[in-house]
Amino acid sequence: MAPLATLLATCSIAAVVHMKSNNATTQDATENVIVLEEETNKPPPHLVMMVIDDLGWSDVGYHGSNFPTPNIDQLASEGVKLEKYYVQQVCSPTRSALVTARYPFRTGLQHTTTLTPGSHSKIPSDTATIAEVLKTAGYSTHAIGKWHVGYSSWADTPIGRGFDSYTGYLQGGEDYYSHSISPTQLIPVGNLSIAGFDMWHNRTAAWETSGKYSTDVFMDEAQRVLDTRNPEQPMFMYFAHQEIHAPDLKPPDSASIAACAGRNWTSPIGPEVTKLRGTLCSMASNLDASIGRFVDMLKAKNMWENTVLWLTTDNGGMTYGVAEDGVGSLGVSVSSNWPLRGGKATLFEGGVRGVSFVAGGFLPAAARGKTRTELMQHVDIPATMAKLAGAEWTKAPTDGLDVWDAVVHGAPSNRVEVPINVDTCVGVTGGPPCSLRESKYNALISSKWKLIEANWNFINCPNSTWCTGAGFYDGWWTNEPMVHVPYNASQAAMPVRGLKNGGLWLFDLSVDPHEERNVAAENPAVVKTMRDRLATLAEPANGYKDPQRNIPDPRSLPGLHNKMWAPFRRFGEEDPPMPAEYVDAVVAAAATAYWD
């Protein structure tokens, strides 16, 4: 396998117009030149990166969902669907990649779960964000919604990382109406309040939004940005929705509730799943309606015809499988990734193969309505957007590829591998010191092959049949009726020395996209090559960094900040050592807690 640097160098000298093969016809060449001229004659596009939280593969209509998503379906059908696109298994790692174009294992943000409230973990200061890069090309930059990639100081928040404005929340999940979070499982601090408010306008707590559904807060902010922006300046918007992340709470939009009424959500798993499927449907419908309204806003401002809207999920949908681990309502949901295996918090396809498409008037007419199956990954989105803007990345180099030709022309993406995750310092509290140094949580796609090399299990997992080393649960969850299909012996991990309570999975995705047959034992040479490649990627000399330490600082607790989860460090200040008894208590609690 060629090293990534070689792949990037190869990509950088690629021809401006790619042909589908060396035998491309004159007509093909003419069409590509026409498309290229169409793009060249346009001013720099407005760029919208829209991140949907926990959107499962089968939570959208065009993938067979029973949820009504007509706006999403129309945008996807009139745009370009990306059907071999990959993200991380959970939120913070993906979002760090989307913001920086760097693999999370290069920034220490590849945590098995996500950043806890009060964590010091953040995007490193020597790593540029897409907002900082686009500002060098004259863009206005705006962030709306979920951040969840560091906030211990204001310098780590969107306002400190290149965004001109920000309205949203800094943690991973919260109540949609009260905008508060109380991670009681995680922080054993006696009678000090840990329930905290988390909704901000720039550096000001947005208390006036209490009681207002998050999506409505974000849509108001989107309208404000469009109303007040300089029309002579290109715009970048990072729009990170809260929907459809748990807790599953019905929106106030009666039309969304009505759109899901009368459908049969009955599940043999039990009444809770039946109820939650109906609630999640109304949330998906509300999300879909808001996306339709946002497009209408852009059209009303005469911006749509010069906009690239790139929609992506942050990970696969959270299935009800996590409920078996004892996770509370903040984490439990009932998404479907059918027919993909697993879901959020697993390295299987249901956790990492993401819903994504590109839409907008800037997209050449000849590209619309197409489906692409070239390999792509989250880091490619910001890298491509920077190229479209005529901006160059500063500070550390990117891991992303400019895949615009693959999106528009169907050219090769030049991505021959997808490092889904590389983590040899596994544990919910990160490191160093590594909480589980003997564990691995790795996965790699190379051409048609996918290897999972993992033995990390949530400590509350009920048994080794449920958790197999590749994440929080295993198996498949169907659409209606929602049932769990367990894996069988031919689909289990291949045991191997050094991966106790886990093992190896090798899948030929060209014939087995649903990961129904583990062929590791039959292909030892492929397994060795891919394990060697993972070992190379995990070398510090090649840019690997262990996960940053990820436990709440006692200085962060809302009882010390007017009942808010707010930045608690001055930029550059030295962190005093945490009391040993506090660290021990939090580490012990973290082993059996889940936050998101």
Positions marked active-site:
91, 148
Two tokens at 474? 């295993």
Beta-carbon count within 10 A of 152 CB: 24
Residue type, 591: A
Cα 302 from Cα 11, distance rounded (Å):
34
Got the DSSP string for 193-216?
Answer: ---EE--EETTEE-GGGTTS-HHH
Structural contact between residues 148 and 95, judged by C-beta atoms closer than 8 angstroms: yes
Residue-by-residue DSSP string for 93-124: HHHHHHHHSS-GGGTT---SS-PPTT------
**Helix, strand, or coil (residue 291):** helix
- DSSP 8-state class, residue 546: P
Distance, CA of 349 to CA of 368 (rounded, Å): 26
Tokens 């998404």 locate to 335
Q: Report how far residue 61's alpha carbon sits from residue 58's, in angstroms, rounded to the nearest whole number.
A: 7
Instruction: Give the DSSP H/E element, type plus range, for residue 43.
Output: none
Helix or strand or coil: residue 471? strand
Determine the number of helices (DSSP H) and then strands (DSSP E) in the chain.
Answer: 13, 20
C-alpha separations of 323 from 269, 273, 581 in Å: 11, 10, 30
